[in-house]
Amino acid sequence: MSADPLILQFVDETVDRLGSTKDAVIPILQALQEHYRYLPEPALRRVCERSQITPAQIWGIATFYDQFRHKPVGKHIVHVCHGTACHVTGADRVEESLRRHLGIQAGEDTDPEGQFTIEPVACLGCCTLAPVVKLDQVTKGMVETEHVPTVIREFLEAHAQGMDAGGSTEHPAGEGGEVTGPEIRVGLGSCCMAKGSDRLFDELHSAARLVGVSVNVKRVGCVGMCHRTPLVEIVQPGQASRFYAAVKPNEARQLVLENFRPPSLWRRVARTAARAVDRVLLEQDDSPTTRCVVDMKAGPAQAFLGRQVHIASEHFGHLDPLDLEEYLRHDGFAGLRRCLVEFPADRVIEEITKSGLRGRGGAGFPTGPKWKMVQGTANDTKYVICNGDEGDPGAFMDRMLLESFPFRIIEGLAISALATGATEGIFYIRREYPLAVKRVQAAIDLLVKRGWLGDRLLGTPHPFRVQIKEGAGAFVCGEETALIASIEGRRGMPRLRPPFPAESGLWGRPTLINNVETLACVPWILRKGGEAFAAIGTKLSKGTKVFALAGKVVRGGLIEVPMGTTIREIVDEIGGGVPAGRRLKAVQIGGPSGGCVPARLADTSVDYESLREVGAIMGSGGLVVLDDTDCMVDIARYFLRFTQDQSCGKCTFCRVGTRRMLDLLELICAGKGRPEHLGELEKLAQSVGQGSLCGLGKTAPNPIVTTLRYFRDEYEAHLQGRCPSGKCAALVHYHINDRCTGCTLCAQQCPVDAIPFRAYERHEIRQELCTKCDTCRRVCPYGAVEVR
């Protein structure tokens, strides 16, 4: 095969730039894919010629990680999120609708013209905006089937105008001292941006300039209240902050005008005129001041924030993620400094142990003893790794923390390094979180520039070097030994422990791996003392836990609550309960490793022990609320589809066992289940849970075990050919009832023309054509479409 000389030149340059050792394989493949948008085979062969990477290695890697493509792709890539929240809000329907609209045939991923390639992704981490799709770099939330044509059209229009590149929010942090003047704060986490915060941010900037007011338009991290984003906070010296929720970019100018007095008389006149004109042009008399203003001290906002305690997300909504000076003004690096000048390593570990902090990544292993194990090993090189491979669909806490508080996580990692005697730090971050990668890298660069990372940590003679390794899309890489394999340039396949990474980890050296949220708590503990942390929470679960609250809940968002808060408090008080007219059925906690806690156990306290008792696990903290329209068999099937694909494929129980459990669930959802299948599911779930090699397989049956335990009646209904929630397409039909007025809306919207036009007459659905996409039911203004 003769390769294009251009290909070879680029490959050679890439290898020269990224290194020719075996561990460079993933970065090299990522660079190649960024360049070619897929991995041309001649390029892979060339890599092998030019480096120590072997064909077997490169091929194994290139086929293991989701990120890598082996075929050319269309001009645009449409990522369809299949996270838990997106699933329960109709991701499958949205994907089907996109495929139909874009003309992508079954079994293909690109349309015949090569315009669009559709790529399902496990989770984009914007769960509160579900269903979510991402068109190239632009994330769109709350995309329903009937929005698909509009979404595509708008995207193409924006693309034609060159406006699809996203906002200009990633400027370096403002240099200089404390700002004492007025501020406009805009939350710029990546899910805020999906709702247009970045464009709003730009508009506010230019509006302030245009109006001529002196105000600092400031980027802050996640504001938590995803259900009200874009959220704007107006800070005026000497006044209480004013908050505006769900502000649209075109309202920026008005917002500035409402809040700030222009300096000159002329401008003041202009301001009054502009407000009048705006009112006419925008054809709305409710200005953002009246429509969007939020009182944080009362009502829903108070309910949302009242129970929360912010430790990992301390100063949320106030800090510019990349403003080092501001971080320092807010006690940043005080914990680390204490470890450098005051506390010896043993004392640091003692504080952590005293705090009762346990791993926030899922299993809840006590952090202090874990550090002690690494400290106790004798080796001249040790590693500390921040595990930012948050792969659970339905969870985005770690993304938010990395995006919003990069300095804090670096501080936590540095403290863990000091305590264990490590000099090398690595951030392992999912590739699906580009903003997190960007911000952590920017924070590292700032610290290196200042001389605080590298050979002299915080200017002291302690070396601590930090680098980022990007994942390439594999849930299993959240498992410690798989994560290490991935960093070493191998397929992310876990191995049997012992030996534990504490003894033999990265490159055979003692390695400490902590989850992002765990590390985020560490600076606080060192600053305030372990006892202060231990004073929060329950007997065995100390401190707080960050949750991504999403699904069928009124106020979704990112929350941090003390351990021991009950599920009911979270769902009803913080989240405002399920939408009106619906009934809470269950809460899915812990993602694919977790379980469904039924509504009747909603008083379960959220702590490691209580959750395990009811069959769920804390997991990394995804909390998806399910209502009476959600089918629990379908939920179990959803997670098993995920795990059988995400299994590394090594051990029999996980590789084949998850698939066989899925097969049984598919039969049951299709109405082909037999009574003995339930017993087989239970038996198999037990074997897979016991026999699997790593945590992924050991916990994979949990969604089945809990739904079988609490919702067996739903399984039994399926055996009789009924899906009580009307979710399982094979078991339901759409019908139009007497309430139909013949408005033809459903007929217009039906994507497969299964509803003939009959103005002013009752419509009918032709069952043989119906794809059960749910569009007619959603668009019908009279509730005339029913599912039976």
Partner 1 sequence: MIPITIDGREVEIEEGKTILDGARQLGIDIPTLCYLERCGPMTSCLVCVVKLRFNGRTSVVPSCGMKAVAGMVVESETPEVHDLRRSALELLLSDHVGDCLSPCVRICPLGLNIPQMLRQVQLGRPEEAAATVRAALALPAVLGRMCHRPCENGCRRTACDSAAAIREVERFVADTNQSRAEPYLAPRKPATGKRVAVVGAGPTGLAAAYELMRNGHACVVWDRAETPGGSLRREVEAGRLEPAVLEAEIRDLKRMGIEFRSGILVGRDIPMTSLLAEFDAVFLAAGEMTAADGEALGVTMTVAGVKIVRADAFLTSVERVFSAGSAVRPVKQLVKAMAEGQMAAEAIGEFLAGHDPRKAPKPFSSVMGRLEKPELHLFRAGASPEPRVTPKSGGGVGFDPSEAAHESARCLHCDCRAAGDCRLQHYSQVYGAEFGRFPRQRRAFEQHRHPGRVLFEPGKCILCGICVKIASESAEPLGLTFVGRGFEVRVAAPLDETFERGLQVVAAECAEACPTGAIEVAAPTDAFWGCSNHGHGCR
Residues that bind partner 1 (CB under 8 A): 41, 44-45, 54-60, 63-65, 474, 491, 493, 495-496, 498, 644-653, 655-660, 663-664, 667, 677, 680, 683-684, 687, 690-693
Nearer to partner 1 among residue 67 and residue 308 (C-beta)? 67
Nearer to partner 1 among residue 40 and residue 619 (C-beta)? 40
Residue whose structure tokens are 């992508």: 104
CB 374 within 8 A of CB 499: no
* Shortest distance (Å) from residue 135 CB to partner 1: 26
The token pair that represents 237 in the structure block: 């010296």
CB 251 within 8 A of CB 279: no
Cα–Cα distances (Å) from 451 to 454, 459, 462, 463, in that order, read 7, 6, 12, 11
CA pair distance 137, 121, nearest whole angstrom: 14
Nearer to partner 1 among residue 593 and residue 646 (C-beta)? 646
Nearer to partner 1 among residue 415 and residue 662 (C-beta)? 662
Nearer to partner 1 among residue 253 and residue 641 (C-beta)? 641
Nearer to partner 1 among residue 451 and residue 679 (C-beta)? 679
How many residues are present in the chain?
Answer: 788
CA pair distance 551, 373, nearest whole angstrom: 39
The token pair that represents 541 in the structure block: 């679960």
Give the bridge partners for 626, in sequence order. 586
Taking Cα atoms as reference points, which of 538, 613, 608 lies closest to residue 365? Answer: 608
Cα–Cα distances (Å) from 57 to 23, 432, 508, in that order, read 10, 23, 19
Cα–Cα distances (Å) from 181 to 82, 220, 233, 261, 321, in that order, read 44, 16, 14, 13, 19
Nearer to partner 1 among residue 206 and residue 687 (C-beta)? 687
* Shortest distance (Å) from residue 684 CB to partner 1: 7
* Shortest distance (Å) from residue 582 CB to partner 1: 34
CB 30 within 8 A of CB 69: no
* Shortest distance (Å) from residue 619 CB to partner 1: 20
Q: Which residues contact 772 (CB under 8 A, 6 or more apart)?
A: 729, 732, 733, 734
Nearer to partner 1 among residue 49 and residue 713 (C-beta)? 49
Nearer to partner 1 among residue 491 and residue 585 (C-beta)? 491
CA pair distance 166, 501, nearest whole angstrom: 40
* Shortest distance (Å) from residue 362 CB to partner 1: 17
Residue whose structure tokens are 């290898």: 15
Nearer to partner 1 among residue 610 and residue 643 (C-beta)? 643
Residue whose structure tokens are 């404390």: 178
Q: Is the dihedral of CA 522, 564, 365, 661 positive or negative?
A: negative
Percent helix, percent strand, percent coil in the chain, to nearest 5: 45, 15, 40
Q: Is the dihedral of CA 468, 472, 473, 475 positive or negative?
A: negative
CA pair distance 447, 407, nearest whole angstrom: 9
Residue whose structure tokens are 């000497």: 238
* Shortest distance (Å) from residue 435 CB to partner 1: 26
Half-sphere exposure at residue 510, Cβ-oriented, CA atoms within 13 angstroms: 20
* Shortest distance (Å) from residue 647 CB to partner 1: 5
* Shortest distance (Å) from residue 110 CB to partner 1: 20
Q: Which residues contact 519 (CB under 8 A, 6 or more apart)?
A: 386, 409, 412, 413, 416
What does the CA dihedral 660, 661, 664, 669 come to, rounded to 10 degrees?
-130
Nearer to partner 1 among residue 138 and residue 648 (C-beta)? 648
Where on the phi/psi map is residue 355: left (φ > 0), alpha (ψ -120 to 50), or beta? Answer: alpha
SS3 303: helix
* Shortest distance (Å) from residue 54 CB to partner 1: 7
* Shortest distance (Å) from residue 509 CB to partner 1: 20
Taking Cα atoms as reference points, which of 786, 694, 704, 702 lies closest to residue 737? Answer: 786
Nearer to partner 1 among residue 439 and residue 491 (C-beta)? 491
The token pair that represents 315 in the structure block: 């100063």
> Considering all CA atoms of the chain, what is the largest pairwise distance in Å, rounded to the nearest integer?
83
Q: Which helix (H) or strand (E) holds 121?
A: strand 116-121
* Shortest distance (Å) from residue 655 CB to partner 1: 6
Nearer to partner 1 among residue 209 and residue 683 (C-beta)? 683
* Shortest distance (Å) from residue 679 CB to partner 1: 12
* Shortest distance (Å) from residue 480 CB to partner 1: 16
* Shortest distance (Å) from residue 66 CB to partner 1: 8
Nearer to partner 1 among residue 674 and residue 739 (C-beta)? 674
* Shortest distance (Å) from residue 710 CB to partner 1: 25
Give one DSSP letter per residue of 42-94, joined into a string.
HHHHHHHHHSS--HHHHHHHHTTSTT--SS---SEEEEEE--HHHHHTTHHHH
* Shortest distance (Å) from residue 731 CB to partner 1: 18
CA pair distance 646, 654, nearest whole angstrom: 10
**Cα 39 vs. chain centroid, distance in angstroms?**
27
Nearer to partner 1 among residue 254 and residue 504 (C-beta)? 504
Nearer to partner 1 among residue 12 and residue 41 (C-beta)? 41
Taking Cα atoms as reference points, which of 685, 628, 624 lies closest to residue 654? Answer: 685
Nearer to partner 1 among residue 578 and residue 681 (C-beta)? 681
* Shortest distance (Å) from residue 605 CB to partner 1: 25
